[in-house]
Amino acid sequence: MMRKFLGSALAACMLLSWSGSASTQELTVATPNDPSVDPHYLYLSTNAAYARHIFGKLVDRDENARIKPGLAVSWANVDDLTWEFKLREGVKFHDGSDFDADDVIFSVNRIPNVPNNPASYVSNTNMIDTITATDPYSIVIKTKDPYPLLLRRISGVSIVSSEAVEGGTTADFSSGKIAVGTGPYKFSEYIPGDRYVLARNEDYWGDKPAYEKVTFRIMPDAASRVAALLGGDVDIVEGFSPSSVETLEQRDGFYVAKRASARTLWLYIDTSNDASPFVTDSDGNPMDVNPLKDVRVRQALAMAIDRAAIVERIMGGLAEEANQLVPMGWFSHNPDIENPPLDAEGAKALLAEAGYPDGFGLTVHAPNDRYVNDGKIAQAVAQMLARIGIDAKVETMPKSVYFGRLNKQEFSLSMIGWDNSLTGSSLMSLSAAFHTREPDRGYGGWNAGGYSNAMFDSAIESAEQEFDMTRHEELLNEAMHILIQEDRAAIPLHSQFTILGVRDGVDYTPRVDEHFSAMLAAPAG
């Protein structure tokens, strides 16, 4: 009996010490995000990041958001409407079947037809008029209108196996039954809310990743993720809190990987509802007018926001103040746009002029598990609004609830963070989040403020069809100017940094789009 006990204790010790010394072949990542295994379901950048592991694309974006060949080896823009692609030959899906043009056509056609999809990838395919195969390894895409950014758009289209996926559902992806792609990793196991395990695809056509097995541990709590890293349970922590950066940098055995990202946080303003859901008068009673429709009120809100304080006190300096929806230095950043000066008295005067000398009640909505310090930023914004006489409240909720409600325009002032790397410009955010909602044409799919301005819309539509990149940028800059400087229809806050905590012994360089990629991790040395 005693011997048996000793034996099992010894075995347990060995097991513990073995799992403690992280093997060079295995990578464990603590992440706050549950994946959608179906690469065409729920378009969030966290899901796009997961999809890159299992699925390939015709063209992909590298870690600096530049276009690089993927399943297409070459392409040509024959005329304004026609694009030809040569596909990579000899590529195998994880189930051993061959990749060819049928899979591309199947994937493009599947995207608009995923049932009950809360956020579709259709904005990446709806400019496509026809897609045809001229032979098994050549396809021709014709767009409805001239569309210079087609390559960037289809870099957001994951290619699934037509044979495996035909007739399958999103749930079949989650169970792993049809999670069949051509990517560097294969599906191995997914336990919702707990872990997502991938195994290296030994037949991958490109550079093979360094780690044989990657385990994503899903841990929504930031402090627990840090503790898991310090305790040696995980190698990398995604969504590392700025408040813990200093601590980690002082510790031996760990380092912080950080990089200014393409994600800008801003606040949507409900500019269209006649009575906004979370606006009350100064006594807390519902109002039958929506003060946010008045540009003077929006100007006052913009004048209340102290971005320097947010960057310094909440983000620990790891963010950059924003005055528009793309970070400085990016294509289509309009240098003529400025934030109004921070001026509480001026803001109060504007509110009085608009007919609200006593302010009004307004709730700031934000997720509490999506962006760096999202809940704290919302509270800080509310503080700043309180200073100009607005009775501000804050409500935060998990992203699973938040984004559904946001996109139904259920909020009055609400936070979002937009990654600009897909188009590498302001085009995607402007056309999805502020163009008048026109689902058939793929516009305004995220227009959660109900903004609608004909001049803005036409600038976006022209920009989208403009092949001359100088003119293209001018049009985007014009649209941004209308939206921010003239209409103040959104309040830019800051561009965040992507921050990861990493164990020494693992090399990791973040991507500019914040997508975590196990392919970029390698044993040090």
Positions touching another protein (CB under 8 A) are: 222-223, 226-227, 230, 241, 243-244, 246-247, 309-310, 313-314, 368, 375-376, 379-380, 382-383, 385-387, 392-396
Nearer to another protein, 307 or 511 (CB): 307
Q: Is 442 left (phi over 0), alpha (psi -120 to 50) or beta?
A: left
CB neighbours (10 Å) of residue 388? Answer: 22
Q: What single DSSP character describes residue 355?
A: T
Q: Burial letters for 410-422: b for 16+ Cβ neighbours within 10 Å, e otherwise?
A: bbbbbbbbbbbbb
CA distances from 34 to 42, 68, 336 (A): 12, 28, 40
Q: How far apart are CA 226 and CA 238, in angstroms?
A: 10
Q: How far is the CB of 222 from another protein (least distance, A)?
A: 6
Give yes or no for a contact between 114 and 38, defined as CB atoms under 8 angstroms apart: yes
Nearer to another protein, 288 or 345 (CB): 345
Nearer to another protein, 168 or 361 (CB): 361
Nearer to another protein, 113 or 400 (CB): 400
Residue type for 119, please?
A
Q: How far apart are CA 115 and CA 113, in angstroms?
A: 6
Nearer to another protein, 413 or 519 (CB): 413
Q: Burial letters for 316-333: b for 16+ Cβ neighbours within 10 Å, e otherwise?
A: bebbbbbbbbbbeebebb
Q: How far is the CB of 246 from another protein (least distance, A)?
A: 7
Nearer to another protein, 59 or 392 (CB): 392
Nearer to another protein, 154 or 248 (CB): 248
Give yes or no for a contact between 499 and 372, defined as CB atoms under 8 angstroms apart: yes
Q: How far is the CB of 313 from another protein (least distance, A)?
A: 5
Q: How far is the CB of 325 from another protein (least distance, A)?
A: 24
Give yes or no for a contact between 138 and 84, defined as CB atoms under 8 angstroms apart: yes
Residue type for 135, please?
D
Q: How far is the CB of 244 from another protein (least distance, A)?
A: 6
Q: How far is the CB of 230 from another protein (least distance, A)?
A: 7
Which tokens go with 114? Answer: 């995923």
Q: How far is the CB of 411 from another protein (least distance, A)?
A: 15
For residue 471, give every residue at least 6 positions away whose Cβ sits within 8 Å of its Cβ, in sequence order, or none: none
Q: How far is the CB of 362 from another protein (least distance, A)?
A: 11
Nearer to another protein, 310 or 448 (CB): 310
